[in-house]
Structure 1
Amino acid sequence: MGHPNSPPKIMSSSQRPQQVPGGSPELHPSNSATALEDASYYLGRSFQPDDNVDRVRRNLGRAWFTVHRALATDPNLKGRLRNETEFDAYVKPGSNEELELVKLLFSMANNQVPWSDLFKHEAFLKSEAELIYTSNSALATTQAWSGEFKGDLANVLFETIADDLSKDKTPYARLTTIINSSGTGKSRMVDELGKEIITVPMCLRPGIKGMPPPDMKLRDWLVSQIRNRDTVQKRLRGFLFSLLVVTLRTLKTIVSEKQDMELPSLNWESSKEKLQDYMPLVVDRQRRLASAFREHMTTGQLYHASGTHRNTFYDEVIKLADEFVQGSTWVKDEAERQYGWYVMGGKGLQEAGKGPLDAGESLCRFIDEHKILESNHGPRRPLVVLAFDEAHALTDNPRQTDWNLFSELRRTLRQIQDFPIFSIFLSTAGRFNKFSPEIRSDPSARVREPDNRPLNPISEISFDDLAYPALKDTVTIHRVVETDWISHLGRPLFGSYWDKFPDELAILDSARQKLLNGPNELRDDNSAGALACLSVRLALEFNTDVSAHAVSCVQVERHMRLCLSATAGFEELITIPGSEPLLAEAAYELMRDTHRNAVHHLANHSDLNCIDRGRRGELIATLLIMQTYDAAREISGRRWVSVANFMEALLPTWNYEMLLQSSPTSWLVKDGPKNRDNTFQAIFKDYGMWFNHVIKIETQEMISSNHLWKFVTRGAMILCATNQEGIDIVLPICHTTRNLCPDSMTAMVIQVKNAPTYKATLKSSLFDTMDRAVLFSTSDSDFAEASGEPNITELAEPKKKKRKMAPGPSVIPKPEAADLKPVIRVVFDLASPEPAVVFRQWPEVQHHFSGFTTFDIWLAGLSCKTFKQIQEADLESYQILLERSLMPHDALSLKDEPNVGEKARQGKEASRQSMVPLILPGLSHHGIHL
C-alpha cells in the first residue's frame, strides 16, 4: 500500500478544503484535537456508504495514512503507532484482521460507529503487551547482533565467492543471491565476512528499523524517479560509479589515519619466492582494511538508525551519483561500446576516470596494487563485496514484466565482471525467485545464452551453531525438553534472542509469529500458516511439479521453511522443514489452540496435492502418532511423557489396561521365567519419550542406540528411509533416571500397512522382520555375532569375506541388567475393514535367542475402536488421506479442477481413467475389455 501524495496544508478546521483525489490532507501538527477532527472529516469523505468491498480495501492505505498523521501529533501515542510495513502485515489481504477493519469502516461510513473509534483500533496502534514485546525484541536483537559469531559459515561464503570469481567461469555477471528463510543468519554471515573482505553493506529494508538498520536515504533514492528505462539505466550506472569511488575515498582515509596499513615497496626483480613471501602481506593488509572499513560502517548503529559514518557515506554516494547523471552524455567509449550506455563527458568528476570501469580498476589497484592476489585459473580471492540486504525492493520496483531495478542493476554490474568484485543480494520477505527467474524467460537475451548462465544462489546458512554440546552420557531427558535447550537448536535467531532476553512466553510468541508470518494465532483462513505448522512437525516433503514449486517458495519466504539447494533460474529447488524443536513447539501450541484435530487441517488443505503423502501410509501414521503424543502431554502435564502415558493416549481404555498387565511376547532366554512374569507396567516404569516433530532418515544405520539418543536431544521421532526393510517409524525411548547414551535407549518400532488384504488378523511374520532393526546396544554386537543375527551398527561397513565360526555356545551369556532392551513392536494395519487391537501372545516354547524383551501389538483399521485419538468426526478426513496415500497423484479424481461442474466432471474423470488402462478395477480403465 503506497502513501498517497500529500495535498495542500489545512489552515483551519472551519475552512475545510475539498477532498484531494488520491490523498489525505496534511493535518494540524500543533493541535492533536484539531488533527483528529480533520482526520475524521477526511475519512468520512474517503469512505462512502455505497462503497463496495474492493474499493474499501483499496483505500485501507489512505486510512492508515490519515490516522497515522493524526495520531503522530500526540506525543503519548507516537511510540505506539504502526508504520506502513507493520500495518500491511496486520491487515494482510484475505486475513480476518483485514475483514474486521473493512466491516468497521463500512459501519463508520454508514454512521453506525463514530470515526473516533478508528483511532483506538489495533490496526493502527500497538497494544501495551505488543509494545513491551517489541521493545524487548528490539533490545535483544541489537545485543545479539553485536555478540560473538559462531560457526564456520562466513568461511564457507568466502570460499563460495572465490570459486564464483574464477576466470574459468563465464557467468552473466559476478553476482548471486543468498536465499533462505528468516532468522538463518544471512545478514550476520555477510557482516562477519566483512572482517576478512572489504564489504560494502547496503540495507534496503522497508520501514525505519531492524538489524541491520535500513539505509533509508539510499533506499529511497534507488526507488525514486522511476520514469523510464533509460533514466533508470543512467542513474544505476551513476550509482555504481559513485559507490566504488566513495568506497575508495573511505579506504584512503582509513589508511591515512592508520599508518600500519602501508605495505613495504615491492622490488619486481625479486625472486619468485620473494613474491610468494609478499602475498601474505597483501592478504593481511586487505584483512585489516576490511575490518577497519566494517568498523567505520557499523559504529553507532542501533535498531532504528545507522551510525553517523554510514549515513555520511551514503550521502556522498547519492550526491556523487546525481552529479554523474547530470554530467553524463550519450558519448560512446570504445571500451564500453558493447553496453552502449553513458560515459562521462562535459563535466568534472575525473577522480576515477570516465565511469565504473575506471572506478573499479582504481579501487582494486589500491587494495592489490600489483595484482599479487590475481589468479588466471581456479578460485580468485575477492577484493570487494557489494552486499544488498533485503534487496526485494529492487525486484518490486517498478512493477514491470520485462524489467525492474534488479535486472537493470545486474546489467550495470556486468561492466565490472572482470574485476575481483562480487555482488550478493539477500532477501527473505520478497519474492526471491525474481532474483533468478526461469532462464528461458529471463528479460536479458545474454542470460539465456548457455555460456552466460547466472551463478547458482547460495543457500547454505547457520544451523545448530548456537546449540549446546549434546555429548552422550552428559544430559537427561529432563534437560533437553527445556525451552533454553530447544531454542538453541536450529537457526540462530531464537538462540541469540534467548541469550539476551530469556523469557519463555516471549520467545514462543516470537516463534509463532515467525511461523505464521505475522499473527500469533492460527485462523481458518490462514492455509499457508496451517501448512507451515504441519510441515515443521510432520517433516512434509513437497512434490516437484510447478504448483508445489510455488508453494515451496511461499513457505521459505514467509513461513520458516529452509531452502536446502537451488539452481540458477530455480530449475531445481529443494526445500525442507528444519529439525527445530522450538518452531515445532510453537506449531504444537498454534494447532492445539484451534481446537481442531490436525487431520482436518491436512486432509482438507488446498495444497495437499503438493505434498508427498507416502505410499505406505506413513503420513497418516506419523499424524496419528503425533496426535497421540500431544494427548499424552496433556496427561503428563509436561513436555516429555512416560511410555505408559503414551500408550494410554494411543489405545482405547480397555485395551490399555490389558496392556499394562500383559507379559512380554519374547524375553531373554536365561532370564525367561523372571521376565515372563514381569508386566508391561513394571518393565517400562522408568522409561519415557520426547518428540514434537519428525526427522526422516536416509539410511538404516541411524536406527541404532549409537544414534537413537541423539534424536531425543532434538525432540524428534524417526521416519525411516523410503523402502526401509521391516519398519517405517521409530519412536526413541530412554530411561528417565539415566543420562542419554546408547545404553539408556530402547524404542517403539512401527511397521505401516495400507493394503486392505492384511485385515484384522495378526501376522507373526511381520514382527519377525523387525528383528533386524532392534539391536539397540553397543554391547549387543557380541550377541548378534554369537547368534548369527545381523548387527545394525555394521550395515554401512563394506562387505567382508565370511569366516567360518565355531558352533556357538548352547547358552548365550545374558547381557548386564543395564543392557536389557524392552522393545515395543507395533503394526499399523490402516486399511483393515475391521477394527481390532491384538496383543501377540508369548509362545509356550522359546524357539530362538532374543537379545531383548518385546511386546508385540497389532492395530487394525482407522477406527476409534483401535486408536483412541480418532473421533467419529475425524474418520472421513483419515479416509481421505488413506485413499490419497495409495495414489501418486490426484489427476484421476480431478483435484486440479475443484470447480468443474458435475456432468463435466463425470466425463473428464472417465476420459482420464481411460488414458491409464488396467491400473485400477474401475470400468473406465477397462474400456476395450467390456
Structure 2
Amino acid sequence: MDAHSNPANNMSLSEEEEDAYHRTQDQKVIENIGDFDPSKRSMLPNALAMVVLLGNEPDLKVTLEKAWIKKEFKDIRNRDILRLPSQIRETKEKSQSHKELDKMVKSAWNKEYTGEMHTLLFDNINAMNRRSTYSGFASIVQSSGTGKSRMVHEQAKLVFTLPFNLRIMPYPGPDNNVRQFLVGFLSNPGGQGVSMAKINITLFLGKIYQLAAERLSLLLNGGRMKRQELAERWYNYLQAKGNRSTLYEAALKGTKEYLLHSVSSCKNNGEDIKSKTKEWLVKLVGTITEHITDDVPDDQCVKVMLYFDEAHALIPSSDQEPQINVLEVLQSCLADTHRRAHFALFLSTVSKLQDFAPVQHLANSARARVPGPLQAPITEVPFDCWSGLPICPHLYKLGDLSKIRFMARFGRPLYWALLNESIVGRNVPEKLPPVEKQLKEIIVLLDVRLLLNYELYRDMTINHEANLVASHMRMNYSIPETREYLRSSYSSEFILAEAAARNLEMYCDNFTVILKALENEFKSGLLDKGAMGELVARLLLIFAYDRAIRNSYSTKPQNYSQGVRLIDFLKALFSETWMDEIMRCIPDNVSSEVTLKDMFKESYIRFTHFGKMVDDTGTTTEAMYAAFLRGMAIITRDNQQGVDIMIPILMWDKELCEYVMTAILIQVKWRICAGSINAYLINQRDINLFPDDCISKEVQNDVQSDPYFEFTLERPRENSGEPVRPYISLILELGVQPKLPRGSGINSQVYKNLAKKTAPRVVQSVQIVERGSHSTAKRQKLDHLDTLSKIHVIKGGKIRHHHDLHPRYNIFAYGCSSTVYRAIDGTDKNVLAKLLRIHDLLAEHPRQDSRSLEAVRRMKPFWSAGEPSYHWLESNLLNPKNAMNVDEEDEGGQLAGFVVTGSMEDTDTSAYDDVFET
C-alpha cells in the first residue's frame, strides 16, 4: 500500500475508525507475509530496518521487532518517514492545538463547581431500592460536554469514592494502568475467557477495597468526622500527585501475585476470590463507619462509590467478534459481591444503548431479568448553569446576542467552561463529501435546528437516536426502567444551532439535496409521517431566514445569530410575484392605512432553531422575549388552538424586554382544499399574546417618533390609555394544489388573477363610520364584518372596536411550490408532495411517474376530483374536461400556488369557484 494514502494521515478519523482501519491493514500485512518461506520470516524485521536506515531512523529496528511480535503495525504506519512533509506539519499543528485544548480543559476542570447536580445525583442514588444483587450499579448515558465526568468527580466530595477514568484523553488524567488491565480481556474469547476475566476483575476490585481500607485508616489516624468531611479527605488524598496511580498499581500487582499463589496452591479460585472480595469490601465499609459521626442507618446511605468514566471502552466493537463484553463481566462481578452500602456508576455517551443499558428481558444474566433489579439509566446533568444567570430585562440589545461569549453561557457546561470561538462551526470544505455522507450530515444539522419528529418505539429509531446522542450532541432526556426506548431531542443551545447553520451553508444553494435527505429518512420510516406538514413549514422558514442573513450581510464567516430585518425575511421567504401585495398589506381588523412595510420597517427577527412549548405561556410576548434572547422560534404545545409556530419580532432595536416584542403567528394546514378564512383567522386575544399593560412608559418615551406610535397612540386600548402592538398572522396552506386552466401562460399576472378567483373571502380593513344614518347595504356590510373582525356598532352610529385593537396583518399562502416560496425549485415538487403526503398512500408508491400513479388512482383507493376517479362520469365539478391533473406539470414545470393578504381586493368568490373559466 502507498504509505501516503494512509487515511489516518489524510483526514480526521474518530478513534474507533482509526483503530478499525489499522486492524484491517494489519490483517492484510499478515496475509501477505504468509506467502513467504516460513524459514525466512524471522529476517523480515531486519530487512525492513535496513531499508528504513536510508531514512536515518536507526531506532526503527526495535519498533519493527515489537510490531512483528504483536502483529500490530499502527506505530510503523504513523512514522514521520512514511508521510509527506505537509502531513507532518499538519500533525504537529494538530498536536499544538490539542495541547492548547488540554490546557483549557484543565483550567475549566479546576474552577469552582457551579450548581447542585452532584448533590441531586447522590440523593437519587440513596433513594434507589438497592436490595437485589443487580441493583448496585447504574449507567449515566448522556451527550458530550454535559458535565457527566465533573458531576461524579464533584460527588466524590460527598461520599467515599474510588474513581476509574478509562478515557484516552490526557485530561482529566486517565487511569491507563486500569484501562489496559480491563480492556485486555476483550480479546480473550473462548471457554475460559469469561471465567478468567471474572476471576481477575473480582480479585482486582477486592484488592482495591483492601488497600483503600488500609490507606484510609492511616490517613484518618483514628479521628472521627462527618461523612462528607471523610469523603473530602479521601478526595484530596487521591488528588495528590501519584497517590491514585500508586494505589491502582499496587492493586494490580497484588492481583497478579494472589493469582500466582492460588494456582500454585491449587485453590478453588472463583469461589475463594469472590469470598475474599466480599470480606475486603465489608472491611472497607466498616473502616468508613468507624470514622464517621453521621447518625444514618447503614442501609440508607451509600458509603462506598465507584465510577467508571467512558465505560463503553469495555464493550466489544462490532467488527471484532468474537470478543468478551468486559462491561458485562465487571457488572457481574459487582453483583456477586453486592452490598447495599456499595454502588457503582458507569458513564458513557455510547450509542450502543442495548449493550450499555440492555432491555430488561434481553439482559444476558438471568438475575438481571428478574423484575425490578436493574436501575433506570440516569440522564440528569447540568444545563443552563452559568453562574451569571438569570438575565434581567433592559440589559442587552440585539447586537449583544450574537457574540460567542453571550451564546456560550447557555446550554451544556462545555461551552462556557471552555469559552472559545473555535468551538463554533468549521471552514467550508473545498468540495462536498460524497452524496451519501451529505445526506447523513444534513439530517443531523437539520435535527439541531428543526427538531425532527421521529417515530417512537422502533428499534431503528432507538439506534438512530442513541447514535445522535453519542456522536452529534443530541440530549438524552429520559430512559425508562425497561430501556425499550429513549426520549431525546436537541435542547435550545443556540451556540450549537449557530454551528449547525454555518455547516449547512455549504448546501445553501441546493434546496433539492436537503429535501432529498428528508425524503430518505421519510422512506426509511424514521420520521413521524403525521408531523411532516409542520416540519416542511419549519424548513421553509429556517431556509428563508438563512438566505435573508446571507443577503443582508457580506461578512465571512456568516453569523446567523445576529438577526435580520423582518422585511428582508419575508422577501427571502416568498416569491417575488407576491411581494408588492405583502408589503402593501394593511390591518384587516382596525381602521388604518399603515402598510406592513411601514409598520415593521425597523423590526427584526432572530431564530436559528426551534423550541417546543408545552403550556399556554408559550404564546405570550413574555415567551417571545425569552425566545428572542435564545435565537429561537417556538413550536406551540400540542393541540394549541389556532397557532402552530410563533416567530418572535423585535419591534425596535432597543434594550430587550417584553414590551418591545411581538410575533408572527403561524398556522400550518396541509389539507388539499383551502379552508375558509373565517375558520383560520388568528386573533391574538385567543392566545393571550399581549399583556394588559401593553407598552411600558419607558418604551413609549424612547420611541415616540416611530411611525408605529404615530398610528397606535391615536388608537389607544379601550379604557386604558395605553398604545397597542401590531402582529402578523400567517396561514400556510401547504397541501392546496390549485389546478391551472390548460393553455394559460405562466406568469405573475396569471397567478395573481388565479389568486383573486380561488382565494377564500379576504376582508378589507374596516373603515370608521361617522355619526348619522346608514343605508341598508352599509348596515349589511357591517353585519358581515362583525362576524369576521369582532366589531360592534355603538348607539349613535360610531364603530367601536370591542375585542381586539392590536393591528393584525394577515398573509395567506396557498400551495407549496416555486410560485409561492422562493426556496423551491420546480424539480422539488414530487419530493414535497411525498413529504406532505399530498397523495396520501401514493406518496410511497415505488413508481412515481404520472401514468403509474394515474393507474393506481383509477383503481379507486380514494376519491378526489379529476379524471382518475370520475372518468366514468360527466360532471363539470367532479370531472372538468379542461383541468390538469395534480401530477401533471404546467407549462412552467411548476404547480400553481398563490398568496393573498388583508390588503388585496375584496372578492366574494369562494375557493375554486369558476377556477377553470378563461
TM interval, shorter chain, is 0.7 to 0.9
Q: CA deviation at 1:138?
A: 1.8
Q: Which has the larger radius of gyration?
A: 2
Q: CA deviation at 1:664?
A: 2.2
Q: CA deviation at 1:217?
A: 1.4
Q: Note the 1:742-781 alignment, pairs <5 A.
A: 742-758=658-674, 763-768=677-682, 771-773=685-687, 775-779=689-693
Q: For 1:90-117, what per-residue CA distance to the aligned partner results, in whole angstroms no more than 9, with x for missing partners?
A: xxxxxxxxxxxxxxxxxxxxxxxxxx6x
Q: Distance in 1 between matches of 2:848 and 2:736?
A: 34
Q: Note the 1:403-418 alignment, pairs <5 A.
A: 404-418=325-339
Aligned AA (2:510) = R
Match of 1:653 in 2: 576
1:436 and 2:357 matched: yes
Match of 2:413 in 1: 492
Q: CA deviation at 1:442?
A: 1.6
Match of 1:343 in 2: 272
Question: Is the CA contact (8 Å cut-off) linking 1:24 and 1:66 kept in structure 2?
Answer: no
TM-score after normalising by structure 2 = 0.73
Q: Distance in 1 between matches of 2:836 and 2:383?
A: 35
Of 191, 201, 218, the match for 2:153: 191
Change (3 A) 1:556 1:417: same
> How many positions carry a matched residue from both structures?
744
Change (3 A) 1:779 1:180: same
Q: For 1:890-925, what per-residue CA distance to the aligned partner results, in whole angstroms no more than 9, with x for missing partners?
A: 8x8778xx8x999xx99xx99xx99xx989999999
Q: Distance in 2 between matches of 1:698 and 1:330?
A: 67
Match of 1:380 in 2: 300
1:358 and 2:279 matched: yes
1:243 and 2:232 matched: no
Match of 1:272 in 2: none
Question: Is the CA contact (8 Å cut-off) linking 1:464 and 1:488 kept in structure 2?
Answer: yes
Question: Is the CA contact (8 Å cut-off) linking 1:616 and 1:753 kept in structure 2?
Answer: no
Question: Is the CA contact (8 Å cut-off) linking 1:173 and 1:413 kept in structure 2?
Answer: no
Question: Is the CA contact (8 Å cut-off) linking 2:52 and 2:60 kept in structure 1?
Answer: no
SS of 1:739's equivalent in the other structure is: coil
Q: Distance in 1 between matches of 2:398 and 2:525?
A: 38
1:832 and 2:736 matched: yes
Change (3 A) 1:631 1:763: same
Q: For 1:465-492, what per-residue CA distance to the aligned partner results, in whole angstroms no more than 9, with x for missing partners?
A: 1274322332222222222111221111
Change (3 A) 1:187 1:658: same
1:460 and 2:367 matched: no
Match of 1:863 in 2: 817
Q: Distance in 1 between matches of 2:262 and 2:428?
A: 51
Of 205, 219, 223, the match for 1:262: 223
519-528 or 458-467, which deviates more:
519-528
Match of 2:140 in 1: 178
Of 184, 189, 194, the match for 1:229: 194
Of 132, 138, 152, the match for 2:116: 152
Of 510, 514, 524, the match for 2:435: 524
Q: For 1:721-765, what per-residue CA distance to the aligned partner results, in whole angstroms no more than 9, with x for missing partners?
A: 222111111001123332222211100001111001107xx6243
1:161 and 2:90 matched: no
Change (3 A) 1:894 1:332: farther
Question: Is the CA contact (8 Å cut-off) linking 2:440 and 2:517 kept in structure 1?
Answer: no
Question: Is the CA contact (8 Å cut-off) linking 1:643 and 1:689 kept in structure 2?
Answer: yes
Q: Distance in 2 between matches of 1:367 and 1:17?
A: 62
Match of 2:55 in 1: 33
Q: Distance in 2 between matches of 1:591 and 1:20?
A: 54
Match of 1:662 in 2: 585
Q: Distance in 2 between matches of 1:199 and 1:706?
A: 45
Q: RMSD over aligned Cα, in angstroms?
A: 4.4
Aligned AA (2:106) = T
Match of 1:806 in 2: none
Question: Is the CA contact (8 Å cut-off) linking 2:351 and 2:463 kept in structure 1?
Answer: no
Match of 1:109 in 2: none
Change (3 A) 1:380 1:528: farther
Match of 1:542 in 2: 454
Q: CA deviation at 1:440?
A: 2.0
Q: CA deviation at 1:210?
A: 3.6
Q: CA deviation at 1:523?
A: 5.5
Aligned AA (2:365) = S
Q: Note the 1:899-918 alignment, pairs <5 A.
A: none
1:567 and 2:480 matched: yes
Aligned AA (1:531) = I
TM-score after normalising by structure 1 = 0.72
Aligned AA (2:338) = Q
1:633 and 2:517 matched: no
Q: CA deviation at 1:615?
A: 4.0
Q: For 1:841-894, what per-residue CA distance to the aligned partner results, in whole angstroms no more than 9, with x for missing partners?
A: 31345724323111101111112221122222433332221127x86xx8x877
Change (3 A) 1:618 1:321: same
SS of 1:461's equivalent in the other structure is: coil
Q: CA deviation at 1:415?
A: 3.0
Which 5+ residue runs of structure 1 have no aligned equivalent?
9-15, 47-60, 75-115, 264-280, 301-307, 345-352, 514-518, 783-808, 926-930
Question: Is the CA contact (8 Å cut-off) linking 1:621 and 1:752 kept in structure 2?
Answer: yes
Q: CA deviation at 1:822?
A: 1.1
Change (3 A) 1:62 1:223: closer
Q: Distance in 1 between matches of 2:624 and 2:805?
A: 18
Q: Distance in 2 between matches of 1:455 and 1:22?
A: 54
Q: CA deviation at 1:717?
A: 0.3
Of 603, 619, 642, the match for 1:726: 642
Question: Is the CA contact (8 Å cut-off) linking 1:641 and 1:690 kept in structure 2?
Answer: yes
Q: Distance in 2 between matches of 1:450 and 1:758?
A: 53
Aligned AA (1:550) = N
Match of 1:593 in 2: 506
Match of 1:295 in 2: 236
Match of 2:627 in 1: 711
SS of 2:525's equivalent in the other structure is: helix
Question: Is the CA contact (8 Å cut-off) linking 2:113 and 2:154 kept in structure 1?
Answer: yes
Q: Distance in 1 between matches of 2:501 and 2:279?
A: 57
SS of 1:172's equivalent in the other structure is: helix
Q: Distance in 2 between matches of 1:475 and 1:431?
A: 43
Change (3 A) 1:578 1:768: closer
Q: CA deviation at 1:779?
A: 1.9
Question: Is the CA contact (8 Å cut-off) linking 2:426 and 2:503 kept in structure 1?
Answer: no
Change (3 A) 1:484 1:781: closer
Question: Is the CA contact (8 Å cut-off) linking 2:114 and 2:387 kept in structure 1?
Answer: no
Change (3 A) 1:134 1:370: closer
Of 312, 315, 322, the match for 2:249: 315
SS of 1:610's equivalent in the other structure is: coil
Change (3 A) 1:329 1:18: closer
Question: Is the CA contact (8 Å cut-off) linking 1:7 and 1:24 kept in structure 2?
Answer: no
SS of 1:447's equivalent in the other structure is: helix
Change (3 A) 1:523 1:496: farther
1:624 and 2:554 matched: no
Q: Distance in 2 between matches of 1:653 and 1:6?
A: 60
1:872 and 2:826 matched: yes
Q: Distance in 1 between matches of 2:383 and 2:431?
A: 24
Change (3 A) 1:575 1:616: closer
Q: Distance in 2 between matches of 1:757 and 1:37?
A: 79
Q: For 1:673-700, what per-residue CA distance to the aligned partner results, in whole angstroms no more than 9, with x for missing partners?
A: xxx1322222112221111000111122
Q: Distance in 2 between matches of 1:163 and 1:371?
A: 20
Aligned AA (1:314) = Y
Q: CA deviation at 1:563?
A: 0.8
Aligned AA (1:262) = G
